[in-house]
Chain A
Amino acid sequence: DADVTQTPRNRITKTGKRIMLECSQTKGHDRMYWYRQDPGLGLQLIYYSFDVKDINKGEISDGYSVSRQAQAKFSLSLESAIPNQTALYFCATSPGAFLSTDTQYFGPGTRLTVL
């Protein structure tokens, strides 16, 4: 079984709809992250969580919200989807033992299309 799973893997929705992307991990890591990737671009950080009670905004958090339901679960919501949120979304986790050497491991991704 994969250590980091994301659901759904593909989603097509319409403008204005609320969408939730879910991430679960069995790695036992404290830290979880949400990124988006647009064609030809690197990954941009949306939100990150260093533990269940700690949620932080990344570089592109506008239009998104998150919920850390448990150590193993981190959900990303688009309250009212718009077409320019069409992208590939990745969840990642890291153990968090040392800030300066923390290694991130990625889930398989969710391809979201907003029409």
Chain B
Amino acid sequence: GESVGLHLPTLSVQEGDNSIINCAYSNSASDYFIWYKQESGKGPQFIIDIRSNMDKRQGQRVTVLLNKTVKHLSLQIAATQPGDSAVYFCAEKNGGGADGLTFGKGTHLIIQP
């Protein structure tokens, strides 16, 4: 099975509200995590990343939280906008080698007007 997955396939939020997208991972050896946004017909777009020696990292309107105890990752988007509508993927990586990123199946974020 996949080592990275998401709790909900679809998340619907009101415009202006905060969104929280969750992700569970199973490989305790993973030390690098990353969130991507993918719009229809486009490749994944980098949002934010975090290493396992951190619990929280903030970007512009986004925050990633990492809980290594329960192997859980979340992406918080503040003041959700229509342009945030997309599929969001979390991905993990084990070590500094060339093993590649392991992606989950994705959460489709829908913004209600």
Check if A and B associate. no
List the interface of chain A (C-beta within 8 A of B).
Answer: none
